[in-house]
Structure 1
Amino acid sequence: FELDDNTPNFSSDPFNQPVIGDINTPQTTEINVTDSDFKMPQVLRSNIAVDRQLPLGLVGTVEFLYAKNINDVNFKNLNLGDPNNPGAPVGTLPDGRPDYGRSRVNSNFTRVILMDNTSRGHQLSFTTQIRKQLNRGPFKNLFGSLSYTFMDAEDVQPGRSSRAVSNWRDLETRDPNNPPLATSDFEVRHRILGNLSYTFNYGVGFGTTVSLFYEGRSGMPFSYVFNDDING
């Protein structure tokens, strides 16, 4: 667990640890709990690819990849909302957003973050590539490739942080305890990669390769968010 504030000094003595009631011990704590049925993350992933020799010495590749979440992580604050149903909203705001109120279910804790599983989320990507290696003439050591990738990815919880509270708190959603399936933070909708390299051979067994690399991308997702408690 984490102490919310006024953290006491660290003591390496296991028999002299701060206890509730000490004058310098904070009166509220934050704890993280794990669902008893929690399963380690699992993803079902499949792909199919085809390479084809094309005219002019070109080689083309087409690849399709699909991934589906089987068990992904999800986070919920149980110390928020309805006291009779921890983690559930107490009502609905006029614009349709859930209202969790501002009071805690248990005043002895700040947040109680539950980690459980969700199966929602998927990723689909389609890639085409063309490449060529010159083996003769003045540019016989020249290699070039160009590829394009389209991606569609949706998830519930990106899990960007190592802390449970940050994963719950820093999620761009209208309902932090029941986030909908939405565009993943890791989605790159369109991506173009280009590579051009040339190898200079000299002596016996010596050479230098000079490469030029290009990457262009679009579709990095973002959201407008509130900078305060949207519950009021």
Structure 2
Amino acid sequence: MPLQSSDKHRIGRSGWLRAAVLGADDGILSTASLVLGVASAQATHTAILVAGMAGLVAGSMSMAAGEYVSVHSQADTEKAELNRERQHLRNDDDGEHRELAAIYAKRGLDPNLASQVAAQLMSHNALDAHARDELGITETLKARPLQAALASGLSFFAGAALPLLVVALAPTEMLIVLVAATSLILLTLLGGLAAYAGGANMVRGAWRISFWGMLAMGVTAGVGKIVGSVFGVGG
């Protein structure tokens, strides 16, 4: 019976996890900061809600588009590298074999064994062997633009909807306190869960996102109060 490893590696989650965590984090933080800034300027409840909704839609689209363009650029680079490697294999198969064998030898294999391993892997799938061991491109970690865009956009939407729900339900006089408190709690939970899913320290992850969340919301609320005082918003 084949042995099954209990060691569940998390590196395969890195692409979509990064996009999802960044999306939800930005959704909560940017929307909460936006409504706190507008609320601190003494805007009406309706104006705060409209500003938050606009931020949710614009942010979701921006995150999805930005992530798609960024990851698609990475995918284009990977495709170009694979095409170049495919050309090298056609033109200089022996040279590519020596190159792959040298990689294995540097990792600790006996030179003769490294040459045999390279030959066997290349006979099975030469491009896959070079993509993995020379270029660092694998099926697990390859760029997936559409997946990253959807994860980023949808997670931003979900994150942004939470402070907006508080805005919709909270009484005007308690809005700033409730939005700030619930957003900070959500950011802390998100940081801890993201760290846990990635196998990192949960306390450190929660503290890091909480600190920057408090700073962003505080600065935005302060700016909103100053702008409201100067221009008489809501007055």
Judge same fold: TM > 0.5, yes or no: no
Q: Which has the higher strand share?
A: 1
Q: Please classify the TM superposition score into its range, dividing by the shorter chain length.
A: under 0.3
Q: Which has the higher contact order (CA 8 A, sep 6+)?
A: 2
TM-score (norm 2): 0.23
TM-score (norm 1): 0.23
